[in-house]
Amino acid sequence: MTKRVDDVGSLRIFVGLRDISGYFSRLKLGFTSLGYRCFFVDLDNHRFNYGPSDFPWLCKQIRFFHHKRGITSFGFIGRTTWFLLENAATFVLFAQVTLTCHVFIFAFGDTFFSLRELWVLRLLRKTIVFVFAGSDIRPPYLNGVAVIENANSCKELADHTVKMANRCKKMERFADVIISYPTYSHFLRRKAALVTTVGFPIPAPPLRQPFPNGDKTSDGDETVSILHAPSRPVTKGSEIIRKAISELIAKGYKINYTELSDQPNETVISEIQKCDFVVDQVFSDAPMSGLAVEAATAGKPVIIGSYAAEIFEQFHNTIGSRSIPRFHVCYPENLKDAIEQMMTVSAQREEHGKQLKQFVRDRWTSSAVAARFLRLINRQAPSDWFFSPLEIQYYSGYGMPKETVRRVARDLLRYGGTSAFQLSHNPQLEEVLTSSFHSANPKNFRS
């Protein structure tokens, strides 16, 4: 690295090329509040509107060219023309930030030229940081999103798995710092910093009062407002959540249920302030999400369903309460009971919300998270910030029921053998997966 992080006046930082739940736009705010020059770029075309990009005109052109080359009616020549224009504009952006910045923080494994430019950054002695959110490195056979995208084809899923594993190898080879979480880091080999220890930059300015609707009684007579805001309703288990809410209403509870999808971030924030608590998702493999953090900032309790609930609890007890707020994590089959419990004990619900709010506002301000990034960049982070991916034992996946994970993995095992899992670097986990999925339910994938 050519600059130390204490060179506040001269160190310049690039953050991009996507924004996940507002994480990276808020991270930029953290760096700038500490006195560092930071440039943020989000090339995604989405409605969430987390934060404005630097180089707005150039980013707009890149998005426009990318959209045009995806229109099949242009034919080969038309698509090639738009592709060349997109790459030319991307090169101009890459050249500008490369000449300016010393540190590159990449989101979701996305770089300017699909990792091909990493050797240039290394040659120029730039510091490279990758922050992984889940689907960017999670094995496809454990990922509900990838299973849907590769539906009914073992070959497509196997090819996707090889491609993902190879991407992870390349990113590891060039990265100075990796930030991730154990339950989705199966393809990693080297130690990575815990994303929960580094933290999730909370929305700024702070949200308003946590319970604007007044006090709730514990006798179940008052209407309880529940919010669910899935980015992907299928993999977030929205149908299961709707069913649980319907059953509770049939049981006599008064519930005002709001479900938002593909809405601007300010709309979601507004609805968070109106609700009593949030139901995030059913099949998570991480102990938090962007929605959960936004709810915590407003002092609202959050229910997260996960097969890793026990792992989260053990991990939390091992590393201590300083690392992560205590969201209400339950097993997927216990989701309805968790919602009912959260509804009926308003005093505990409010106290839980206050504790979450206090934690994130004490430890996860954008400047506090940015300061931890700087410690990692300057190799000053303590050893207990890191985990070894080779110790991972979780294999129940994300975004789908455990039974689906078993069937998909078993079919992949039949198709490509043990090597199809791409886990030769972790023979212990490879053996566990092979033995666990060998006798799964009848085949549901075609080769």
Q: Can you tell me the mean pLDDT for 286-314?
A: 91
Q: Is 212 helix (H, G, I), strand (E, B) or coil?
A: coil
Q: Encode pLDDT of 393-413 as tens digits.
A: 899 999 999 999 999 999 999
Q: Can you tell me the mean pLDDT for 140-151?
A: 89
Residue type, 67: H
Long-range contacts of 357-363 (CB under 8 A, 24+ apart): 357/210, 357/296, 357/297, 357/298, 357/299, 359/296, 359/325, 359/326, 360/200, 360/202, 360/293, 360/296, 360/297, 360/325, 361/202, 361/206, 361/297, 363/199, 363/322
Q: What pLDDT score was predicted for residue 204? A: 62
Q: Encode pLDDT of 102-119 as tens digits.
A: 999 999 999 999 999 999
Confidence of residue 446 (pLDDT cuts 50, 70, 90): very low
Q: Encode pLDDT of 425-439 as tens digits.
A: 999 999 988 888 765
Structural domains of the chain in order of their starting residue, each with its CATH number: 12-201+370-389 (3.40.50), 224-363 (3.40.50.2000)
Confidence of residue 153 (pLDDT cuts 50, 70, 90): confident
155's tokens? 């070959």
Q: What pLDDT score was predicted for residue 152? A: 67
Q: What pLDDT score was predicted for residue 218? A: 42
Q: Can you tell me the mean pLDDT for 350-368?
A: 92
Distance CA 155, CA 404 (A): 17
Q: What pLDDT score was predicted for residue 217? A: 41
Q: Can you tell me the mean pLDDT for 241-249?
A: 97
| Beta strands, E only, 312-412 | 328-330, 386-387
Distance CA 373, CA 193 (A): 10
Q: What pLDDT score was predicted for residue 6? A: 56
Distance CA 95, CA 437 (A): 48
Q: What pLDDT score was predicted for residue 404? A: 92
Mean pLDDT of the chain: 88
Q: What pLDDT score was predicted for residue 316? A: 66
Kindly give the pairing relationship between strand 386-387 and strand 192-194.
antiparallel
Q: What pLDDT score was predicted for residue 319? A: 57
Phi, psi of 419 (to 5 degrees): -65, -20
